[in-house]
Structure 1
Amino acid sequence: MKISREQIRLTGAPFHGVILGKQAIPLGQIDLPVTFGDRSNFRIETLTFEVVDFSGSYHTILRRPCYAKFMAVLNYVYLKLKMPRPKGVITIGPSFPHARLWNKDRCQLASKIIMKADLTEIKRNVALTAPDSNKSTDAAAFQSAKETKEVDINDSSSTKTPCVATV
């Protein structure tokens, strides 16, 4: 959009819900005019947007303040946004192939982020519960939890007798 950083008002309030379980720290806020409709029937209002520095499945996310300002009604089943105008109702609909492609890419990105966080947690837990490798282990310190008995193997080439725990 070629908007300079000077036009963005600083804000420090994080928000949630863009990537599951993660918070987003915005670069700031900006007021932009938004137009719905076409030349014959349109509506323009100024909306405030949070500016973030990451790629998402949508270029913008519209929420209740937008719907209230435009007096719009959202139908989640049909993915339609409708708003009244003097020349008739403005209806905004999705591009299903485009939305599917973006959602597929963003789901993969979100999965990778979550897997990375899970892997970090697993590594931390393993580090906490792993035995100390600096301590020397003494073979004589090993003791069987149950009694053992020797079992003869009828193999004349074998010189070893295994120990088997009794159950």
Structure 2
Amino acid sequence: MRWGSITHASDPYGPPFHGIVPGKQVIPLGQIDLLVTFGDPSNFQKETITFEVVGFKGSYHAILGRPCYAKFMAIPNYTYLKLKMPGPRGVITVGLSFQRTYQYERDSCELASTVLASEELPLIRMEAAEEAPDSNRKTGSFEPAEGIKEIPLDPQVSGEKKLRVGTKLTPK
């Protein structure tokens, strides 16, 4: 597959799409038309495809979907990692090795984890700062900083075994 030149970039905004980074949605910055060619010099097909432009780093440079498949009359086979389409001199087959695809998937998962961690880390730090322990408390002490409530371990047996629970615990 070869890329052509940029023919236009439209204004941002469009319907968001999901699934690139788990738990996050992406709002496109705009669209761009590119001339895409599949095949080799003896048997090729080229069409102009409209791509959504997004503002984040990804492990893929482009993701082809149904509009591209329809324009090229292509049929993806996910089991064999092949994309087949008609060409002027027979069927054009595009495919990758399983090892290369596996590496792309690993890169994609690592990137998603990094993005999520970088966004969640400031939130975790803020929560930790809000829930910081009292500085007057002795280090290594197992005594609660606030009030406690004693609950019998077995309510049916009156005994000396009781559980001590802090009354000021957060819902977390």
Could you state the TM-score of these two structures normalised by the residue count of structure 2?
0.65
In structure 2, what is the Cα distance between the partners aligned to 1:15 and 1:109? 18
In structure 2, what is the Cα distance between the partners aligned to 1:17 and 1:77? 20
Could you state the TM-score of these two structures normalised by the residue count of structure 1?
0.67
Closer, same or farther: CA 131–30 of 1 in aligned 2, 3 Å: closer
1:152 matched residue in structure 2? none
How many positions carry a matched residue from both structures? 143
> Residue type of the partner of 2:71?
K
Listed one character per residue, the Cα deviations across residues 113-141 of structure 1 (whole Å, up to 9, x for unaligned) are: 3334555565666677x4996xxxxx9x8
> Shift of the alpha carbon at 1:30?
1.0
**Which one is further off, 91-100 or 64-73?**
91-100
Q: Tell me the secondary structure at the aligned position of residue 55 of structure 1.
A: coil
1:28 aligned to 2:30?
Answer: yes
Bigger proportion of residues as helix: 1
In structure 2, what is the Cα distance between the partners aligned to 1:73 and 1:41? 17
Identity score, percent: 50
In structure 2, what is the Cα distance between the partners aligned to 1:67 and 1:2? 18
Q: Tell me the secondary structure at the aligned position of residue 68 of structure 1.
A: helix
1:67 matched residue in structure 2? 69
Closer, same or farther: CA 107–44 of 1 in aligned 2, 3 Å: same
In structure 1, what is the Cα distance between the partners aligned to 2:151 and 2:74? 74
1:166 matched residue in structure 2? 160
Q: What are the equivalent positions in structure 2 for 1:80-159 lying under 5 Å apart?
A: 80-119=82-121, 130=131, 142=147, 145=150
> Shift of the alpha carbon at 1:60?
0.5
Q: Would you say the 8 A contact 1:146–1:166 is kept in 2?
A: no
In structure 1, what is the Cα distance between the partners aligned to 2:149 and 2:86? 80
Q: CA RMSD in A?
A: 3.5
In structure 2, what is the Cα distance between the partners aligned to 1:98 and 1:7? 32
Flag structure 2 segments of 5+ consecutive residues without an equivalent.
135-143, 153-158, 162-172
Flag structure 1 segments of 5+ consecutive residues without an equivalent.
134-138, 148-164
Q: Which has the larger radius of gyration?
A: 1
